[in-house]
Structure formats: structure tokens, C-alpha cells
A and B are shown apart, each in its own frame.
Chain A
């Protein structure tokens, strides 16, 4: 479930904002466009989350439904995830409500205990539910959280995007709070020049070590009218532990009319 969030955040986190050099405005502009093209007003999908370790050759699969809606302020998102399988996690749900102050409310519903638990904000820079994604990956990063710099332009990485050029943009956290929340001291993202979707990200931890790599694929336009895009496949790897997480979206429905009541604690606790 987190994984959905994750992918979104991934994409967003690949993106950072703002620069201070002559190129700065360009970099910020690129990232703003990136944020804009992936901001789907409403979005519902089935998803498959696969976690494993490339050294141990073990994999676990979880399936869930994912709902997301842009809040009234047109900036922040509300996200709900409901798990279907395996049996041990059936009906577990995660509700993420982004707040203007940057501190997100993350609520986890545990059906076996019929209880909703809050994920403390300090916990949100840690691993999200055992996946390679962190809570901060899941929450949508905003351009104002970063200082951006265009490093170069080059051919996009990966066979799927080989024919397209990418902006390579470096993002640095704008302050200590952002660093603490995300755990990243630096991010480098590859943003396609044609549709401004991020296709790759590399993340450096607080100790200055490169430790995560994200790749996005199956990028499709999901809302032709509004020109919104969605990466249907995300893959992130922890380069130190060799743990990986893959997220695949299917049955994507856009702007089908999701009520605000979906993103409430009451709904989170409703077991279908």
C-alpha cells in the first residue's frame, strides 16, 4: 500500500526544485513542470508490490488498491491504500494526508486489532513498512523543499527511454528539516525533455553515500485532456543491502469521481 504512495513520492522525489545559478531557473522550471504533469486530479488503481533481495533471490508479493486525490489547495494529495493479499495483511490500510506545514498525517489500520495507528513524524524518514521506499518517498515532495541545479542533458537511461533526451538535475534539501525528513543529502534525477516525467533517480544518504536507485517505466499519458502522465512501473533498489521493491499499477482509472470521504479515518477503518 505504501508502495503506491511510494511510487508517487519516488517520482516526485526524483524531482527537486530551484536553483541559484544562472541555470537555476531552468532547473526549477523543469521540476515544476514535472510536478505538474504527474499531478492527476483523481486516480484509482490496482497495484502489485514485489519486495526481494537480489542476493538472496527471495520475493514477496502484495496486492492492493490505491486511491489518490489532489486536495482543495491543488497542491497537496490525499492517498489511501487498501491491501488484499496475502492473507496476513488483508484489509490493512494506510491513509496519508499531506499537510501544508510539510508534516504528513500517516495512519495505519490494523484489521486484526481493529485499530488505527499513527506513524510518528520522526519515523517517516525510515523505511516504509519494510520496503526500500521511505515514508518521505511516499509523500509527494514539493519543489520548494529543494535547491535545484541542472547538471547536464544526456540520453535518457534505460531501453524504454533510450530515444529521448533527459535533463539531469541535482536536488539539495533546502534546510535541515527536509534533510531529516527525507534522509537524503542529495538527489539526482533524470527528467525526460519531452514529457517532463522523471525516469531515474539516485539518492545519497546523510553520510554522503549513494544508497538508493529508482527507475520508472511504462510511462503513459493517463489524462490526455489535462496532459497528465503516470509511470505504471517503478523499481527501487537499496545499493547497500541489495533489497529491491517493484511496484506495478494496473486498471488505472483517472478522474472517475472519488469522494473526499474516502480519505477519512472512518473509511480507513471500514473493512470491505
Chain B
């Protein structure tokens, strides 16, 4: 009751008297929470969608058998069917198809070629008119029959009996829509970007005659799954993966774990900036109300009551801010979801379509409580400090700079900041985060907290260093602003902290982005030396391209202006995903054309390129070049042997060397395409690389290829430059979502600075009154406040660049390798430096406008009377 009365009469009246501060602090919490909520929603929905997709495709199957992208012989189905315990064994062909003209993965379609005469035993479908196929006899006998999901048909304005053209392994093909599915059962998979074909039609269209990609097993009732799995494995021999659907889910989720952790880290930073705002707001409020605190304490208010008073003022702000954050977060999740799935696809070659964004009531309640609690915790420490102030001390007026307690605190803060940054550095370098996830989280939190605590000290240092500069400039207002900032270190530190953390985040993200971008660009420049690339529809950059038969190579080489590469004139590459010990890796099967380029296109590292490449090509035993990711995950070294499952059984490869390749962070395996074809019996090609005869222009060749082969094969020809541009834009797209994080962090930083500037103007009312009384004009006061803001923005940005680049470097060189498997070189984000400074100054100037107006609007007499 005592707290209630104190809050009602004192706390509430302060909130009412300072509505702008309350609103700004609430908005700060709201923005911070919104990003956290958005990322939480997307992470949760991504996992759910992935799980749903796997479950939907698995249907009633409890085991599924596969053997990699090349599939396995259809005849194995009869072996599987007679294994004791198998009730149903239902085959499937899986393929990707692309709508004609597609250049993006979004225009891709997952094809499930299923045995419609057996499907009922494993998967269910629901058609829009209760019949999936109007005429099954026609459907089954025509290889152009296809069933689309209702969602996809609606998106593309298609209906039953319409024709669509898709790129297939055999070139461009026309398909007839003979059924539409409602989003139930298997049709929910892949976010509806799914088409069902009968298995025979799919085989013919996608070059998989007499093959199967997968067999789903429904066991007999009461069958022991483990025992059945063992029976199947021993019946089929090596080269086959027998998995439960939940295992597939777990594997995919494990891959996502680290990525989502990084997303959460970024979003937590924005939340942290919001909490700094709360902390600052309360800290400054305490400074402002020091006399009041002293009076209350002198009147008998206990320390705990004082803590409770300040904390209670924040409860409402925290709750309303969190509620607003939930609403904003949901909107933000809609905006960011496609950007994040694009990024995931680029990182893991994993296509996830988020079917719906889910924000459950329990998640909302948790967010409200956690947001409020976080705001309360943020307010607790300054409140505790207020409670420890002695009444006598509270009543005394003294300069902050002379306060030994404040000085001690300030020194402690700097020391703590340095310790946290030190811990973070050591933890990243020595991978302590691997020991326990808690250490990993602490490491990341230390980076931000360390920067936030240590940063203001650096800003003050820079201010001191440039003190003389202001004096020399003969610009009295600038000098005055500089002196003001130096005189009130605590206030300056508080002002700078929120904005600086926002800018620090911008710089950290810029470091990661720039490192990815520059590493990939330089790598591409080094290895991609051919003039043109020819493939079918899809995204060249990710290898998500409709594979085509290599038999078209002679036709390609007959196009005037094309110069063959290599001894076999062939220059084809096949890129296929491959699961090695549960990790999704990539196999790149490359024709031998490296000699032509003096092996420049084989990115060997750590040994002589030519010798290693020749050893690889000419090895008597099957040999491979592998990336660092593979070596790390497989725990192998150059010279070791490893086995790959092929449709014909296990094949042992000698590791002839290490290469640098970014097709998969988990590992890339280079094989000679001859060797790959021999063991995998797969003659499909992802892309052809070719050169141009001198005197021939790229456009001439592109036109000629389109004329001769384009229509038949849906061929796409791109130049070396275009491919590199695609890579650049792919990196941009992969990081597109970080723009939102940066914007939110800056917005919260802006609100934080605006809030603290407003408070500092209020705190300095009397001082401003004196300045006005001794002749300063309103414009000069306004300029002074603006200068103060801009100086803080500028130096805050400088320190953010310094700390952001440092933490960014550690992040790129250690954390990314550790968590995502990427081995990339750190590249300082030069272009972001000016952008960060300009952003810092602009944001600070923007935040300073209102306080400056407010300061210049003060009446002298009122200001001098202000207590």
C-alpha cells in the first residue's frame, strides 16, 4: 500500500509530467522487442514449416530409403517389398523444375513423381473438387500430366487443363494441369510450390528412367522400427540411406541451429539497445530527482521502497512497449520472412517455404512478461544506485566531475568493459562457446556489453584529444559544446551509449557482409575464368538449376563463335547435394578442362595447384579434392581416404588436396566428372562453361544459342560478368534482412539519444538560463545543443567503427567458422565507414533538433528559477 501510494503520488506524477520521455522510452522498448519477436516468429515458423514439409511428404511412412541425387535402380523396389515387416513400399521420383524464364529459386517447383496407384497407403491428398484427378486413365497414360497445388495455381492464374512450360532434364516441356490440390497432407509441403506427377511421367520428363529417388516404407503394425531399419539396410547393402522422417527433421534443424542463433544474437542486440534506453532514462531521471530522493529518504522512505518506486515506474513502460513490440514484430516478421528464407537457401542450399507465420498466445504472453521483466531489470541497477545515495549527499549540490564515487564508478565501468571485451576475444579465439551454449551466449552478450561500457570512455578520450581543435577553430559554440560534453562525462556517456551500440551493430553486420562479399568475389575472379556459362532455368549462383543431359554438348559446340575448352572439348559441371555423416555437403563433378586454364579454375590451397590438380585427375585410384569444411567435419586430412555412397555401393576416395569452395559451408567434394559418371551413372549437367572465339561477341553467341537450342532446352546463357554480378546480388540478398536489423537498432539508438538529450537539456535548464542571461542568443543555444548531439554522433560512430570492426573480425574469423562452417577472410568494410559516420551524425542531428528547439525556447527567468 505504501508503494502504491508512493507510486501514485510521486512516480505517476513524474511520468505525467514527462510524457515525452515516457513515450520515447516505451517506443525504444517496443522497437527492440519488435525485432526480437520478428526473429523469434520467423525462427519458430521456419522450423515448423520445415518439420511440416518433411512430415507431409513422409505421410504415414516411418522410414524412407534414398541414395542421393542420382537415385537407385527401380529393380530394388522388389527387394524392399519382400523384406519382412514391410507393409507398403511406395516409390518416388524427386526433381526440381522451373517455370520457363525463371531466374530465381522462387520460380522453381518441387516435383514429386509418385505412384498414384499406391499413394493412398502412405500419403493423403485432398482435391479442390473432391477428385484429385478427373480422369486417372488419361492422367496415368500421359507423361505431360501434372497436378499443382491450389495456392500455386492461384498465384500464377492457372486452372485445370491449362498448359504450362517447365524446364526439365530433357529440355523445355509442356505439361497439362490435370488436377489441383488443397493445402492438406503432402500438398502442404514446400509452401505449396509443389507439383505431383505420376512416377512414370516424372521419370520420362526428368531423365530418371528405371530409377527411384526414394522409397517410403509403411511398416506392419507393431513392427520394431529399429529392427526393420537394420533388415532393410542389410538387404540393400551400402549406398543407401534408411532414415526416419524425424531424423531428417533433426538433421535439418541442427543445420539451422547456429544460423538461427546468430539471427537471435542480432535481434537481441536491438533489444539490448532498447534496454539501454530504459537504463539511461532511469539513470538520468535519478540524477534529475536526486534532491527528491534525498527528501524522501530523509522522511523515512526505505531503500527498498526507493528501488520499488523507480522499478514500478518502468513496469508500465515495459509492458506497453512489449505489447506494442509484439504487434510491430508480427508485421516485421511478414516483411523479413522471405529475406531470411532467401538467406537460409543461400547458406545451406535448403529451400524452405514458410507456409504461415505463427505467433502463439503462449509466445505472446512470454514476450510480454519477458519484455517487462527485462525493462525492470534494466531499471533495477540505476534504481539500486539511487537507493544507496545518502540523504545528506542527495541534498548537496556538487559538480559531477568532483564526485569521487562517480569517478570510481566510471573507472569500474571502463574496467568491466575491457574485461568483457577481453573475455569475448579469448572465448572466440579459443572456441569456448563449443563447451557450453551458455558460454556462447555470454560471449556474444559480452561483445555488446563490453562495447557499450568501454565505448563511452573512448568517446570521451577522443573528445579530449580533439579539445584543442575546437579551440583553434575559433568557433566558440563548438568549443562550448565540446566543453559541456567533457564536463559532464556521465551524461555524455549515457547519451553516446545507446546510439553507439546501434552503430556498433551496423558496423559488425557490415564487417560480416563485406567479408562474405569480398571473399566470394575474389574467389570467383580467381577461379571463374571462362567467357560464358550455359544452363537451364534456375539460379546459376546457387546451383539450383534444372539439370540437363550432357548429350547436348555437341550441339552447343556447333554454335558458331563457341570455342571448346579442354582435351575432351567438354566443360560441364554437375553440382549435387550429398549427405556425408549427417552433414549436407556438395559434390562438384567437373570435366577435365583445368589444363586449358593452367589449373586456375581449381582453387587448390595449401599445396602446389598444378601438381595437386594433376594428381587428382590422373590418380589411379578414385581421388577427390575437398574443402576445409569437409576436412573439419569428416576429421580427415590430405592423403587420407574416405568413402562415399554411390548407387553401386561405397566408393573409397583418396583426398588429393584441399580446395576453397563456397558451394556448401559443411563441405565441398570435387570429383572428376568421369569418375562421378562411372559410379553414379548420372550424365546430367548443372552448367556448361565455354569460351568465345576471338572476334565473337557474347550477345551474338547468346542469340545464336537461344535460336538453335533455347526453345528446345530452355537454355540460359550468361556472361562471366553477369555471373559475377549475380553473385554480388546473391550476397546482397542473403544479407537483405540485416538492413531491417540495422534500421531498428538505429531507430532505437535515435530514440535513446533523443531521450537522453531531452533530459540533459532539462537538467541544464538553469545553466542554459545563465547562458541566455549573459548574452547568448536563442540560435546560439540551439546550435550548441545541436553541436553537442552531432559531436556525440560523430565520435560515437568513430568508436562504433573501431569496436565494430574489431568484434566483426573476431566474428568472421572465428565465430562464423565455428558456427556456420564458413571459412572466409576478414575484409574491412571500407565503404561502410563513411556511411556509419554519416548515419551517426545524421541520427544524432535528428535526435538533437527537438532538444535544441526546446533549449532555445526557454525563458531566461523561468530557466534561472529552475531547480
Contact = CB atoms under 8 A, between A and B. Distances in A.
Contact of B141 (A60, A110, A119, A126): A110
- Interface-central residue, B119, B133, B137, by most chain A CB under 10 Å: B137
B141 A89 contact: yes
A51 B121 CA distance: 26
Given A92-B137, A129-B137, A241-B130, A123 B142 contact: no
Contacts of B204: 113
Interface in A128-182: 129-130
B120 interface: yes
B566 to A, nearest CB: 38
Contact of A120 (B120, B138, B201): B120
B136 interface: yes
Contact of A89 (B130, B131, B138, B201): B138
A1 B141 CA distance: 14
B124 to A, nearest CB: 11
Contact of A113 (B131, B133, B200): B200
A110 B118 contact: no
B515 interface: no
Contacts of B129: 241
A209 B140 CA distance: 31
B131 A122 contact: no
B180 to A, nearest CB: 14
Interface string A43-58: 0000000010000000
Given A92-B141, A130-B135, A130-B136, A122 B200 contact: no
A88 B141 contact: yes
Contacts of B130: 240-241
A51 B133 CA distance: 13
B91 to A, nearest CB: 11
Contacts of B133: 130
Contact of A108 (B117, B134, B138): B117
Interface in A99-136: 108, 110-113, 115, 117-120, 122-123, 126-127, 129-130
Contact of A115 (B137, B142, B200): B200
Contacts of A111: 141
A237 interface: no
Nearest to A123: B120
Band of interface residues on A:
20 to 34
A88 B137 CA distance: 8
Given A120-B88, A122-B88, A130 B117 contact: no
A242 B201 CA distance: 30
A138 to B, nearest CB: 13
B143 interface: yes
Contact of A117 (B115, B121, B142): B115
Contacts of A32: none
Given A60-B135, A113-B200, A115-B200, A123 B140 contact: no
A62 interface: yes
A122 B121 contact: yes
Contacts of A127: 131
Nearest to A51: B135
B138 A88 contact: yes
Contacts of B120: 120, 122-123, 126
B853 to A, nearest CB: 71
Interface string B104-147: 00000000000101111100000001110111111011110000
A123 B131 contact: no
A115 B115 CA distance: 13
Interface string A67-89: 00000000000000001001011
Contacts of A108: 117, 140
Interface residues of B, number: 24
A240 B143 CA distance: 31
A202 interface: no
Given A89-B141, A122-B88, A117 B117 contact: yes
A98 interface: no
Contacts of B200: 110, 113, 115, 117
Contacts of A119: 117-118
B119 to A, nearest CB: 7
A130 B117 CA distance: 12
Given A129-B136, A241-B130, A241-B131, A120 B117 contact: yes
A59 B133 CA distance: 15
Interface string B199-216: 011001000000000000
Nearest to A49: B137
Interface in B678-698: none
A118 B117 contact: yes
Nearest to A53: B129
A41 B117 CA distance: 30
A243 interface: yes
A269 to B, nearest CB: 14
A33 B129 CA distance: 40
B138 A123 contact: no
B141 A120 contact: no
A4 B562 CA distance: 60
Contact of A110 (B90, B134, B140): B140
Interface in B341-367: none
A211 to B, nearest CB: 11
- Interface-central residue, A1, A86, A110, by most chain B CB under 10 Å: A110
Contacts of A51: 135
A51 B135 CA distance: 9
- Interface-central residue, B120, B129, B143, B201, by most chain A CB under 10 Å: B120
Contacts of B121: 120, 122-123
A255 B90 CA distance: 40
A120 B118 contact: yes
Given A120-B88, A130-B131, A88 B117 contact: no
Nearest to A56: B129
Interface in B541-569: none
Contacts of A243: 131
A123 B118 contact: yes
Contacts of B131: 127, 130, 241, 243
Nearest to A131: B136
Nearest to B204: A113
A110 B117 CA distance: 12
A123 B133 CA distance: 15
A62 B140 CA distance: 15
A62 B141 contact: no
- Interface-central residue, B90, B115, B204, by most chain A CB under 10 Å: B115
A30 B14 CA distance: 94
B137 A130 contact: yes
Nearest to A107: B117
B427 to A, nearest CB: 56
A111 B783 CA distance: 87
Contacts of B136: 129-130
A123 B135 contact: no
A41 B706 CA distance: 63
B119 A83 contact: no
B135 A113 contact: no
Contacts of B137: 1, 62, 83, 88-89, 92, 129-130
A115 B201 CA distance: 11
27 contacts: A1-B137, A60-B135, A62-B137, A83-B137, A88-B138, A88-B142, A92-B140, A108-B117, A108-B140, A110-B140, A111-B141, A113-B141, A113-B143, A117-B115, A117-B117, A117-B140, A117-B200, A118-B117, A118-B118, A120-B121, A122-B118, A122-B120, A126-B120, A129-B136, A240-B130, A241-B129, A243-B131
Q: List 10 tightest A-B contacts by C-beta distance, closest first.
A: A120-B118, A122-B121, A113-B200, A129-B136, A88-B138, A119-B117, A130-B136, A89-B137, A123-B120, A112-B141
Given A119-B117, A243-B131, 14 more contacts: A62-B137, A83-B137, A88-B142, A92-B140, A112-B141, A112-B142, A113-B200, A113-B204, A115-B200, A122-B88, A129-B135, A130-B134, A130-B135, A240-B130
